[in-house]
Amino acid sequence: MATERDFETEWNAVHAQVRRYCLGQVNNPADVDDIVQKVAVRAWRGFGTFRGDAAFLTWVIAIARREIAREMGRRGEQRRRESSLDTILETAPGQLLNVAAPEEAPPAADARWVAAEVRGAVAAGELSEAEGQVVLARLARPEPSWEEVGVRLGITANAAAVTHCRAIPRLRVYLILHAVERLGGLDAVAEAFDGARHDLDDPLSDDEAEVFERIVLRGERNYRRVGWRLALRAAATKVVQRLPLPD
């Protein structure tokens, strides 16, 4: 059975080649970094289905090709219409916080609530300590490199990137379940859910829609089915992208 360690090993081996491919397709390095992160998330989510019929790099490049087309097709409209929660998680200024020492160096006001929820997710066991620290490090500066994050936390740049990719889908679920008012309230989430169900490029699957609707919108917190965690994380990722930037 494929494990997170297996994925990290495979991703570390191809990360540089994937980034070079994306750089060849997209001119803006900042956009490339965002796309590579999304590719890593999609590859990690689908790693359990990777059968090795083709090389891992070939499989990931196919994901990158689809992600570039999808991202470039909606980026202009999305920038004009709204800023997603990803903007807060990736660009809000402040100071690096240690999850175990929340009293140190508070972040800027617009990032403080996010940092507080990150610590809450760690305390609740929804994020690991390492995942919490990486997310807080990304909150710390407008444009930190993975090398900077890794040096700050004593890990490699690739480990920081993979840990971040693993943490963000989990954090989105935590925010939707435990900080929904910060996201505009349940009505706003329901509206975003409806939009995600009818998205022409990447709509919610039937499984994703069912899990999200029952657990989030109906409040059936004990609802369980095979693969529900991954389905909920995938659904939350698509729904969050349709939410306006919180205050």
DSSP result, 191-222: HHHHHHHT-SSSPPPHHHHHHHIIIIIS--TT
This model's pTM is above 0.75: no
Average pLDDT of the residues in 85-91: 43
Return d(Cα 244, Cα 247) in angstroms, integer.
9
H or E element in which residue 244 lies: none
Angle at 197 between CA 194 and CA 198, to 5 degrees: 95
In the prediction, which pLDDT does 48 show? 80
- Please report the domains of the chain, with CATH numbers, ordered by start residue: 4-81 (1.10.1740.10), 86-240 (no CATH)
Lowest model confidence (mean pLDDT) among 31-35, 67-71, 110-114, 205-209: 110-114
In the prediction, which pLDDT does 209 show? 93
pLDDT tens for each residue of 27-44? 777 678 888 888 988 888
Q: Which residue has the tokens 């508070």?
A: 106
Average pLDDT of the residues in 162-170: 87
